[in-house]
């Protein structure tokens, strides 16, 4: 149980284009989903927290207009990287939680984004 999927697993795009990454909770309803970014050989940095039907809460320093997050249902959140540039290349990981009882997060396998 508690499986989270991400699609695509890898994506390569040209500079200036937008890329959408999907995060799905497959066997549970997620009240909250999280998006992390991981640079090579670095730790995970929380980008934003999203609750179903609400606007996402972005961490300090994360451009909300660059990284658009939509959490339209209890099983799906999307991250859209708008007008991507090479510096946006990174490993993006999502997680989801039901909230109860310990707000435990279940992580997706990650999406490798490469912007040429």
Partner 1 sequence: AQSVTQPDIHITVSEGASLELRCNYSYGATPYLFWYVQSPGQGLQLLLKYFSGDTLVQGIKGFEAEFKRSQSSFNLRKPSVHWSDAAEYFCAVGTTSGTYKYIFGTGTRLKVLA
Where do contacts with partner 1 occur on this chain (CB under 8 A)?
32, 34, 41-46, 49, 57, 93, 95, 97, 99, 102-105, 107-110, 112
Nearest 5 degrees, angle CA 50-CA 51-CA 53?
115
Closer by beta carbon to partner 1, 57 or else 80: 57
Name the residue nearer to partner 1 (CB basis): 76 or 107.
107
98 strand-pairing partners: none
Cβ atoms within 10 Å of 43's Cβ, excluding its own: 7
Q: How far is the CB of 37 from partner 1 (least distance, A)?
A: 11
């Amino acid at each position: 149980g508690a499986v989270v999927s991400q699609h695509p697993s890898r994506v390569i795009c040209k500079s200036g284009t937008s890329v959408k990454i999907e995060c799905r909770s497959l066997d549970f309803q997620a009240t909250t989903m999280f998006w992390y970014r991981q640079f090579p050989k670095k730790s995970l940095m929380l980008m934003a927290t999203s609750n179903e039907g609400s606007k996402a809460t972005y961490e300090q320093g994360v451009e909300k207009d660059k990284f658009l997050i939509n959490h339209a249902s209890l099983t799906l959140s999307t991250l859209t990287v708008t007008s991507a540039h090479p510096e946006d290349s990174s490993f993006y990981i999502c997680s989801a939680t039901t909230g109860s009882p310990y707000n435990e997060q279940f992580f997706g396998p990650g999406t490798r984004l490469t912007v040429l």
